[in-house]
Each structure stands twice: as structure tokens, then as C-alpha cells.
Amino acid sequence: MQPPLVYKLDLSELQGEGDFPCPCCGTIISPEDETEDVYVILDTKLNGDNLEELEIQCNKCSSKIRLVGFNLK
């Protein structure tokens, strides 16, 4: 079995409300979805009290996505 692909996505470069397609399969991932039907949170990295990086996994294709760019002002 091939290991899942890992993508890096900078949230500061996104347009809109925060929804984005999985870079591999195109499934729409929404930060509003708390069901874990579409994706699961694998890891969080904090810098003090600030979220620095979030690693999620798409449930459809098993790709891992590292989300960065949370420090929007």
C-alpha cells in the first residue's frame, strides 16, 4: 500500500470563507464541518497560544494536508 500524499496549503492565500478543495481528489473541505465525515484532524502545532499549523486527512483519498497561515491579522 502506498503512503498517503502530503500537501501544504497556506490559508492566507485562499479566497472566500475558508472552504477549499482537497488538492488530490477535489472534495470540498469546510472549517465549519465538525462531523469528521469529510476530514479528520491529525495534529495541531501551537506557538504559545496561537495556532501555527493544522494537519488534517481527507477521508475520501487519505491525503494529508498541512494547513498553515493562521496568523491573519
The structure's pTM equals 0.86
Q: What is the pLDDT of residues 21-57, one digit of tens each?
A: 999 999 999 988 889 999 999 999 998 989 999 999 9
Predicted confidence at residue 1, as pLDDT, reads 60
Q: What is the pLDDT of residues 54-73, one digit of tens each?
A: 999 999 999 999 999 886 55
Predicted confidence at residue 72, as pLDDT, reads 57
Predicted confidence at residue 12, as pLDDT, reads 86
Instruction: Please give the angle made by the CA atoms of 33, 38 and 42, to the nearest 5 degrees.
Output: 90
* Distance separating alpha carbons of residues 62 and 57, to the nearest angstrom: 6
DSSP 6-29: EEEEEGGG--SSS-EE-TTT--EE
Q: Which residues make Cβ contacts (< 8 Å) with residue 2, sequence separation at least 6?
A: none
